[in-house]
């Protein structure tokens, strides 16, 4: 039984997460001929303040990026 684990920064919609689960499930079915019912997908969402690279959290990186102007 394939187990696919994904960790993402939180903030995606339920529809996006659902599409991700469907796509990953189908990829496992196609790649290893697993039955759909045997595929397990775990999605973990992490706050932007709890994910860092290069000693900078994603929240900090987002805060220092210039804001896009709206028309």
Length of the chain measured in residues: 71
Question: Of 2, 35, 47, 71, which residue is the catalytic one?
Answer: 2
**Is 66 a residue of the active site?**
no
- Kindly state the DSSP code that residue 42 receives in the 8-state scheme: E
Within 13 Å and on the Cβ side, how many CA atoms surround 43? 18
Alpha helices in the chain (DSSP H): 14-32, 58-64
Residues involved in catalysis: 2
């Amino acid at each position: 039984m394939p187990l696919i684990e994904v960790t993402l920064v939180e903030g995606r919609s339920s529809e996006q997460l659902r599409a991700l689960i469907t796509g990953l499930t189908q990829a496992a079915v196609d790649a290893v001929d697993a039955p759909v019912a045997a595929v397990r997908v775990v999605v973990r969402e992490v706050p932007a303040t709890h994910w860092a690279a290069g000693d900078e959290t994603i929240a900090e990186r987002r805060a220092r990026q210039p804001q896009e102007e709206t028309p």
